[in-house]
Structure 1
Amino acid sequence: VLPIEVQNSFGLPSAHAELAVAIWGLVALRLRRPLATVALGLLAFLIGLSRVYRGAHFPLDVLGGFLLGFAVLAAFLLAEPAVARAAGRLHPGTRILAALALSLVAVAASGAVAGADGLWAPDPAWTGDVADLAPVSIEFTLIAGGFGLGLVIGRELERAPRPFRSLAAGTAGTLLGLAILALLWFGVGLVLPDAGLEAAIGVYIRGAAIGVWVLAGAPAVFARVGLLDTGPRNPHHPWKSTG
């Protein structure tokens, strides 16, 4: 096997496969359109297959990711109604503090696991000549925790979603949104430390900034530059116009 991509951490399960099933599976369930379900299912499968093709994972890693993705999706669907009702009864500030607390608990738990390995290191026979090994890292927990907090903050700031006024406007908005997102992550990352506590805080804050941008910043900018539909909103589907 000649890998196209070399990873520096464990392979089981494949996070790409897990997230593909969980995210695109949820989108398919929300859309409730057979063609979309087939297309998104194929997309998730191809994402998993690409990890094998690139030599980043064994087939078992991808299968494990798919199964974990289904489990995460099922858990979300079961818990989401009750959690949403409970969160809806809280003050907005309390919701933000709760999201902050939950994200920090996740980071602390991840840090405890990472710190528990002590001086342990993988057997060189497992890793070959892979450099910069990071078999146990809290980076992705920092990203997810910060992003989740940012989504909650963004949800409190933006309560009136609107559709793009045209396909061209949607295309322009998507490109603009992705450009700002890249600037927030990669651009800001260039001026931050790449190791130590400061780096960890920077990763967390950048994740939070992206969450706020996705739910509140981007829609506000799109509205300001005239990319969004200003017609009456559909009361049942506020992201759709009534026209």
Structure 2
Amino acid sequence: MTQSIVDAAALSAALAGPGRLWTAISRVPSTGSTNADLAAAARSGAPSGSVLVAEHQSAGRGRFARRWEAPPGTSVAISLLLRPDAVAAERWLWLPLITGVAVAEALGTLGVRAEVKWPNDVLVEGRKLCGILSERVGDAAVIGIGINTSLDAAQLPVPTATSLRLEGCEASATQVVAEVLAAFEPGYRRWASSADLTRWYGERCATVGRDVRVLESETSAVQGNAIGVDGFGRLRVRTPTGERTFAAGDVMHLR
């Protein structure tokens, strides 16, 4: 069973410090939303590289202002505060994408074969294991990562979800967070250097090459074949009426 208590001191000793991306890693057992907490910290001048981890959120949020909550001790919420220097605003759309790749790579080191679904989900055999929410707060980016750790089948919010426990992963929550933070750093530095990420991401994203349905809003959807991402991280979809690009939207992989 995945252990739920995160050792922030161990994480800080291993991952934070001079020359590293992470400057401060803190942990709370429960909060309303780690993203909301770090957004408030960003407005108060918290430094880039601040990380907040919680083992329970009572007011987690997803797209379209959806509420999300898991029973205490069955998930881990990680929020990252970053202040990118001189990165064009248009490139900020990449942040949830590179985060998804980092989570998938981190889970791979723990023995869980995961895949990235554009723009902000990580799946295992089509079942959602992790959701990502990126927000801009002034000159800061706050990126929230929610990973199902020890949910059992009866606790799943929907049948299309899964957890590390259900996938046979025995890693502690501290190990999970450590692997995610370690995997995020190289991708983030690649992004901050203005490198072309289109091929790098396309090779790692399970959405590319799939027939998809993109929900633009609660009432509008477009169907077609996902052929890649453009230089801004937008999804390129070939539809019966021509190519469309999407900067955001819920995506359904079609069979």
| Length-normalised TM-score, structure 2 | 0.26
The structure with the largest helix share of the pair is 1
The structure with the largest strand share of the pair is 2
| Length-normalised TM-score, structure 1 | 0.27
- Between structure 1 and structure 2, the one with the greater Rg is 1
